[in-house]
Amino acid sequence: MGQKQTNPKQPKQQIPSESVEQICLFRWAAYSEAAHPELKLMYHIPNGGKRNITTAKRLKAEGVKAGVPDIHLPVPRGEYHGLYIELKKQKGNTTTENQDFWIAALKEQGYCTAVCKGWEAATKVILEYLEMKIEGGNLNA
């Protein structure tokens, strides 16, 4: 008689890419604009991604800078001029040295900054910012 397998292998759960996380975040923002019209002003800063060398050189000449956070909400709240978010996938990603520089520099200039793991964490930060429940100007969610 064959033995029963008591611990079958579970399929590995796929972790959404940063791109998928960002798409989900902007879909949520579009849906939430009725309650928070200022979300219409939120935009992505396309600094990342794979490019050929010619495009990369052109973008650098045009002012693209490595490390600038992914998302900007140019809406002042309290002492802050606006909110910058560096969006990461839910697991396995950390900020780079350039990203850490930009996050610190933007905070120094009066912006609220956050590093968020996943779109749901980003929505929480955005809502807290819009409702001004943030203290310290630098968040990790």
In this predicted model, which residue has the larger pLDDT, 49 or 138? 49
pLDDT number for residue 56: 82
**What is 31-87 written as a DSSP string?**
HHTTT-GGGGG-EE----S---HHHHHHHHHTT--TT--SEEE---BTTBS-EEEEE
Average pLDDT over residues 45-50: 78
- The distance from CA 137 to its chain's CA centroid, rounded to whole angstroms, is 15
Domains of the chain: 25-140 (3.40.1350.10)
Percent of the chain with pLDDT over 70: 86
pLDDT number for residue 128: 94
Residue 141 and residue 122 in contact, taking contact as beta carbons nearer than 8 Å: yes
- The distance from CA 98 to its chain's CA centroid, rounded to whole angstroms, is 15
Q: Which one of 26-30, 43-47, 89-93 scores highest in mean pLDDT? A: 26-30
User: Per-residue pLDDT tens for 1-39?
Assistant: 555 555 567 667 788 888 999 999 999 999 999 999 999
pLDDT number for residue 135: 59
Query: What's the mean per-residue pLDDT of the chain?
Result: 88
Average pLDDT over residues 77-83: 95
